């Protein structure tokens, strides 16, 4: 796992209606849902036809009672889940789910950063299980190609993730009245940026991560989102580099984004 330290290796949707979520993302992203065959629970793996990039599961009554709502969580690879979870708390974060094993898959914990954005820490089992996905060509449809943190403190977030994962500060882009957009890189020196950080909008209820799914046509996705029961919140909007992006909500209220050509 060392080669993948600090990389997003899995994405997981917690939802209030698993079958409806499967149908929505299949319609919008052309994802193929397949049952993971996990004993005692329904867990759906999703992604393009040749590879799963994430999973979906229904929120339990206990999770809902604790305040959980529909949303996507990113899993970041670490060398030692227990040590990383302890470090996250020493750096001002908070533990949500303590370190525990998924038999035959790996070990994970769920934490939030000091500003309240949730993410998971993960280390795969030595011989089998949730292996890190292959690195596709940039923009490959169906894969998650961008990771974006909406936070209340850019400097605090950079310091936290730099200490926890070794992420490095990249280019800072001036967004005018919306402040700055801070790129970050997760790999070795010279790697391209893997995501960005931005101050959250006042109407966003809390700091959060937003994940961008590559699509073959943003215009097609914009038409599919409302047809499948979701909402378009923003876009299409062109970003540096020529790509177009759209922010949306799925029918259960989970935030997502898509990126691609028009």
pLDDT in tens, 11-25: 999 999 999 999 999
> pLDDT value at position 138?
79
Q: Average pLDDT, stretch 101-110? A: 91
Residue 95: band (very low, low, confident or very high) from pLDDT cuts 50, 70, 90: very high
Can you say how many angstroms the Cα of residue 85 is from the centroid of all Cα atoms in its chain?
A: 18
* Confidence class for position 231, pLDDT limits 50, 70, 90: very high
Residue 131 has pLDDT above 80, yes or no: no
pLDDT for res 3: 63
Euclidean distance between CA atoms 105 and 50, whole angstroms:
20
The H or E element that residue 10 is part of is strand 8-15
Mean pLDDT score, 228-250: 93
Angle CA(127)–CA(111)–CA(125) in degrees, nearest 5?
5
Adjacent-strand bridge partners of 90: none
pLDDT band of residue 132 (cuts 50, 70, 90) is: low
With a pLDDT cut of 90, the percent of the chain lying above it is 70
Give yes or no for residue 63 having a pLDDT over 70.
yes
Residue 76 has pLDDT above 70, yes or no: yes
Can you tell me whether residue 102 is helix, strand or coil? strand
Higher pLDDT, 25 or 51: 25
Please, what are the domains in the chain?
A: 2-124 (3.10.180.10), 144-260 (3.10.180.10)
- For 78, 151, 165, 178, 255, the CA distances from 55, given in Å and listed in that order, are 19, 25, 23, 33, 15
Antiparallel, parallel or unpaired: β 106-112 and 118-124? antiparallel
Q: Give pLDDT, residue 146.
A: 95
What is the predicted pLDDT for the residue at 190?
A: 52
Lookup: tokens for 189: 């020196």
| H helices present in 96-187, as ranges | 154-165
Beta bridge mates, 199? 151
Looking at per-residue confidence, does 204 or 256 come out higher?
256
Q: What is the mean pLDDT of residues 28-37?
A: 93
């Amino acid at each position: 796992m060392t080669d993948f330290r600090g990389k997003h290796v899995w994405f997981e949707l917690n939802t209030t209606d698993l079958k409806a979520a499967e149908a929505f993302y299949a319609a919008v992203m052309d994802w193929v849902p397949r049952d993971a065959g996990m004993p005692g629970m329904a867990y759906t793996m999703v992604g393009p036809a040749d590879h799963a990039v994430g999973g979906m599961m229904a929120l339990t009554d206990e999770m809902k009672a604790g305040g959980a709502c529909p949303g996507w969580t990113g899993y970041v690879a670490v060398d030692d889940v227990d040590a990383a979870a302890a470090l996250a708390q020493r750096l001002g974060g908070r533990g949500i789910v303590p370190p525990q094993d998924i038999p035959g898959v790996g070990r994970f914990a769920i934490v939030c950063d000091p500003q309240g954005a949730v993410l998971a820490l993960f280390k795969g089992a030595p011989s089998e299980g949730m292996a890190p996905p292959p690195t596709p060509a940039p923009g490959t449809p169906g894969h998650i190609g961008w990771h974006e943190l909406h936070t209340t403190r850019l400097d605090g977030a950079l310091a936290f993730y730099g200490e926890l994962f070794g992420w490095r500060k990249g280019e800072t882009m001036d967004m005018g009245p919306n402040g700055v957009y801070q790129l970050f890189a997760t790999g070795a020196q010279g790697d391209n940026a893997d995501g960005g950080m931005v101050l959250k909008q006042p109407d966003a209820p809390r700091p959060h991560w937003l994940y961008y799914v590559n699509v073959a046509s943003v215009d097609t996705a914009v038409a599919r989102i409302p047809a499948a029961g979701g909402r378009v919140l923003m876009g299409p909007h062109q970003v540096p580099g020529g790509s177009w992006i759209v922010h949306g909500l799925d029918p259960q209220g989970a935030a997502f984004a898509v990126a691609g050509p028009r």
